[in-house]
Structure 1
Amino acid sequence: MTGLRFVDVCAGAGGLALGLERAGFDPVLLLDNKPVACETLHMNRPQWDVREMDLLDFVPDEHPQTYDVDLLSAGLPRVKSSATAARAETEEEERLLQATVLLAYSIQPRAMIIENVPGLVDAEAFEPLRDFVRKELEHLGYRLHWFVLNAADFGVPQDRKQGVLVALKERYSDRFRPPVRTVMERVSVGRALRHSMAARGWSGADAWAARAITVAPTLVGGSDNRGGADLGPTGTKAAWARMGVNGGALADEVPGPELDSCPDMIKLTDAQAALLQGFPPDWLFAGRKTARYRQIGHASPPPVGNALGAAVAEALRDDRTRDSVGPRVS
């Protein structure tokens, strides 16, 4: 036990929390407003304190275990630029980001991690939001580090760029260094999924894997108000097609011998999508197929959370813990 404690809001399926756990952090509370996400967290970590609650209704005074934690983390719903979406469509995501920042007043963590769209880091459209964050957190003595990470640089077989804010109390800020890539060669879809494609005896698994030689396009969970699960918009589906994947729907199981003589493209399962997000094979997802896929598509890849957690832990730890904190190898 390192003694590093964190609160995770908008926890979703637990991707960021799992990564932070691997980096040596122990959660004191996880918060999400979706019952199916909370069920997923309970299934995988029954010992975690998971609360089904809207972030906007969360009052830290009613949860004193959240006070003075080392880290407040949030993989928030993606904010939208008012230039590309109606104002009403941008308000909820902005309110959640603002509410997370304002939690710093009562929780007073030594560090914060907020993960969102890459544009939040430097796009002109998001300057008002960055200005809000800057004023509120600098007033409390935090120093801000904005940067963009690509999950593919951390062994995740997916081209997934994430905008990240790490804010640390001033005494720790100079020690912080953003994570550096952990793999020199990116993991292809074929390499990541070849074993699962062959699990039911499909003879075409090796040939398919040899064709799927790039990382996956960004997985998109989609809106709860949309129809069934698919792998993304038209351009994304075209990229999948070049790898021999039908991105228009998900399969209920991996290919079997019935496809040995079939030249058509195969479909991925939601479990394979989870592998492409960097989840371990034993991480379970609650709900029906579409609900499972949406949780997966919205998640923050655990290997990125691990790298972020290790970088924050390095900045926070003192001489007594200097040799005991670091990323856990799964």
Structure 2
Amino acid sequence: MGRLTSVDVCSGAGGLALGLERAGFDPVLLLDNKPIACETLRRNRPKWNVAEMDLLQFDPIENPEPYDPDAFDIDLLSAGLPRVKSSATTKRVETGLELHLLRATVLLAAHVVQPRALLIENVPDLVTAPEFEEVRDFIQSELVHLKYRFNWFVLNAADFGVPQDRKQGVLVALKDRFFDQFRPPTPTVTRHMTAGEALLPSMSARGWHGAEEWATQANRVAPTLVGGSDKRGGADLGLTGTKKAWAQMGINGGALSDEVPGSDGTQESDTSGSPLKKLTVEQTAVLQSFPDDWVFAGKKTARYRQIGHASPPPVGEALGRAIADALRS
């Protein structure tokens, strides 16, 4: 079957776009407002049409560059959007930047791109929580008159081979004639990969004698990686509760290391005095199931934040295959 086309917004480090590429989608345009994310995309896929632009300012009707809506017939509009605040009050949900981006994506789909399918990936609460009912109603009201039908569901990346407990809320909307052929993706693995299994090759790369023992006790999927806010310095693996979960796996979640343990377990850049090991940026990319050759631009904290905010490529691939099957049928 032939390749399909897509437009991807809020592309970040490209996790969703990479997964969709594997599933048979070639992007006509990728959009992100962060220069470092756009650099990452261009380094890895020089032929991709990457635009550094704020989605809220993107108006291809008034300014057709870099995307001319009359020139393309798009199969899919995809968006791995910044996480709406699931713990926010209704008022904050109504005024947050994340919600504005969600609304902008829906309006872009409804009034400009009009793809055969729309894919939005965000927090699980967007699918079920009462405080987001008005958001879900807005999405339906904008798209239903254009003959889209909807499927809301929650996936866990661990069910698709990602060594991480990462639940994702998903909206897939398809034009009416394709909708009955769509089936949400089912797990691709029968057993979850543990953090120990995923990280053992890197933990033992410098000959650490305790790597096998560490991997044996890190016998569960990793907690959800949290990219953190761009407005504060440093890189850590999450809030207090998450750091405790990392500590139970022998990981110091307070910061990242510049190197994996040496033969005696020493990490030269770690001056904390803790017996727990710190992850490297490259190891967090493993936990997100990025391929080894995917290069992240920027310094350590910037690279980690791109990784932590990304959608794991295997989840994007599973979603892409399910959407492609429906469109091709």
TM-score of the superposition, structure 1-length normalised? 0.93
- Measure how far apart 1:83 and its partner are: 3.8
Letter paired with 2:78: S
* Inter-partner Cα distance in structure 1 for 2:240 and 2:141: 40
Q: 1:82 to 1:211 in 2, by over 3 A?
A: closer
* Inter-partner Cα distance in structure 2 for 1:312 and 1:173: 9
Deviations 1:226-264 (A, max 9, x none): 220000000100011011000000000111124269981
Equivalent residue for 1:291, pick from 279, 292, 302: 302
The correspondence of residues 58-137 of structure 1 with structure 2, limited to 5 A, is 58-61=58-61, 62=64, 63-64=67-68, 67-81=72-86, 83-84=88-89, 87=92, 90-104=95-109, 105-137=111-143
Deviations 1:132-180 (A, max 9, x none): 0010010211000000000000000000000000000000000000000
Aligned to 1:201: 207
Task: Give the conservation status (yes or no) of the 8 Å contact 1:79–1:90.
Answer: no
**RMSD of aligned C-alpha atoms?**
1.8
Residues 1:140 and 2:151 aligned together = no
Letter paired with 1:290: T
The correspondence of residues 7-46 of structure 1 with structure 2, limited to 5 A, is 7-46=7-46
Deviations 1:174-194 (A, max 9, x none): 000000000010000000000
- Runs of 4 or more above 3 Å deviation: 81-86, 260-263
* Inter-partner Cα distance in structure 2 for 1:275 and 1:9: 24
* Inter-partner Cα distance in structure 2 for 1:183 and 1:191: 15
Structure 2 unaligned regions, length at least 5: 268-272
- Measure how far apart 1:82 and its partner are: 6.9
Task: Give the conservation status (yes or no) of the 8 Å contact 1:67–1:106.
Answer: no
Task: Give the conservation status (yes or no) of the 8 Å contact 1:77–1:116.
Answer: yes
Q: 1:278 to 1:84 in 2, by over 3 A?
A: farther
Aligned to 1:189: 195
* Inter-partner Cα distance in structure 1 for 2:41 and 2:47: 10
Task: Give the conservation status (yes or no) of the 8 Å contact 1:60–1:107.
Answer: no
Aligned to 2:286: 275
Overall identity of the aligned pairs, in %: 69
* Inter-partner Cα distance in structure 2 for 1:153 and 1:36: 30
- Measure how far apart 1:10 and its partner are: 0.1
* Inter-partner Cα distance in structure 2 for 1:315 and 1:246: 44
Comparing 176-185 with 194-203, greater Cα deviation is found at 194-203
Deviations 1:77-104 (A, max 9, x none): 0111474587289521111000000012
Letter paired with 1:103: L
The correspondence of residues 229-308 of structure 1 with structure 2, limited to 5 A, is 229-259=235-265, 264-308=275-319
- Measure how far apart 1:278 and its partner are: 1.1
* Inter-partner Cα distance in structure 2 for 1:96 and 1:17: 18
Comparing 144-153 with 219-228, greater Cα deviation is found at 219-228
Equivalent residue for 1:310, pick from 301, 321, 324: 321
Task: Give the conservation status (yes or no) of the 8 Å contact 1:118–1:148.
Answer: yes
Task: Give the conservation status (yes or no) of the 8 Å contact 1:60–1:67.
Answer: no
* Inter-partner Cα distance in structure 1 for 2:230 and 2:260: 25
Task: Give the conservation status (yes or no) of the 8 Å contact 2:84–2:93.
Answer: no
Task: Give the conservation status (yes or no) of the 8 Å contact 1:146–1:166.
Answer: yes
* Inter-partner Cα distance in structure 2 for 1:260 and 1:91: 43
Aligned to 2:163: 157
Comparing 253-262 with 5-14, greater Cα deviation is found at 253-262
Residues 1:56 and 2:56 aligned together = yes
Aligned to 2:230: 224
Deviations 1:284-325 (A, max 9, x none): 10000000000000000000000000000000004xxxxxxx
Residues 1:172 and 2:183 aligned together = no
Letter paired with 2:49: D
* Inter-partner Cα distance in structure 2 for 1:254 and 1:121: 39
Letter paired with 2:168: Q
Q: 1:245 to 1:109 in 2, by over 3 A?
A: same
Task: Give the conservation status (yes or no) of the 8 Å contact 1:80–1:89.
Answer: no
Task: Give the conservation status (yes or no) of the 8 Å contact 2:284–2:307.
Answer: yes
* Inter-partner Cα distance in structure 2 for 1:255 and 1:85: 46
Comparing 253-262 with 227-236, greater Cα deviation is found at 253-262
